[in-house]
Structure 1
Amino acid sequence: MTSDELKRRTKAFGIQVIALVEGLPDTKAGWAVGRQLIRCATSVGANYRAACRAKSKADFIAKIDTVEEEADESLYWLEILDEIKLTKPELVKPLAREANELTAIFTKISISSKKK
């Protein structure tokens, strides 16, 4: 997967999460979980773009580690949404799968970068 493809994929993930959160109930739980989820899901793409402009290998690794953390945090909040049943499981499952895949991709990139 190229850098541009990964940029598009991470942006699409953020946009899809925003759409999901827009459909959450207007409750304290919906607001709280939705706010956290939007924050970390959109951070995946934003921080990946920053990593692509890193000024050094150490800077790149630090930024990629942040991307990995944000992708994993997104998965956490999606799991919370699913477990407390704030929305339909069929809306959460594909996003949880994508968050898991993104976490794995960025974990691999981080490990590979540290070995070089």
Structure 2
Amino acid sequence: MKKENIVVEKSFEFALKIIELYKLLKNENEFIISKQLLRSGTSIGANVQEATAGFSKKDFIYKMSIASKEARETKYWLQLLDKSSITGINVSIYLEDVEHLVNILTKIVKTAQLQAK
């Protein structure tokens, strides 16, 4: 039986949610932030997937670090949507989800860096 990987699952589920949010934003004619959000929000999971297939500990740390940076960027776009009047869509659940991902990814990177020393 394959061991479940929480960050792989959570980042994939989050990407699916971001795709749905992107569709909602497009329906409200918001095309600028929505594209940035779609790119960064789906990139988190893509980098996590690449990290799990890393050739070395250094490669793993590098890809997980990129995933962490993409999560932080996604948080920024969500905060802009939340604090601006661009849309009436409530993004608080997405902010909670991305904050959770940021925390997980930060722990993974720090732990991997300590183990690599």
Same fold (TM over 0.5): yes
Structure 1 stretches of 5 or more lacking a match?
none
Match of 1:12 in 2: 13
Q: CA deviation at 1:87?
A: 2.9
TM-score (norm 2): 0.89
**How many pairs are equivalent?**
110
Q: Deviations over 1:15-63 (max 9, x none)?
A: 111111211111xxx2010000000000011100000000001100100
Match of 1:40 in 2: 40
Q: CA deviation at 1:12?
A: 1.0
Q: CA deviation at 1:9?
A: 1.4
2: CA distance, partners of 1:102 / 1:5: 10
Q: Deviations over 1:55-108 (max 9, x none)?
A: 00110010010010011111110001111131322xx10110110110011001
2: CA distance, partners of 1:31 / 1:99: 21
Root-mean-square deviation (CA), in Å?
1.2
TM-score (norm 1): 0.89
Match of 2:71 in 1: 71
2: CA distance, partners of 1:11 / 1:105: 14
Please state which structure has a larger fraction of its residues in helix.
1
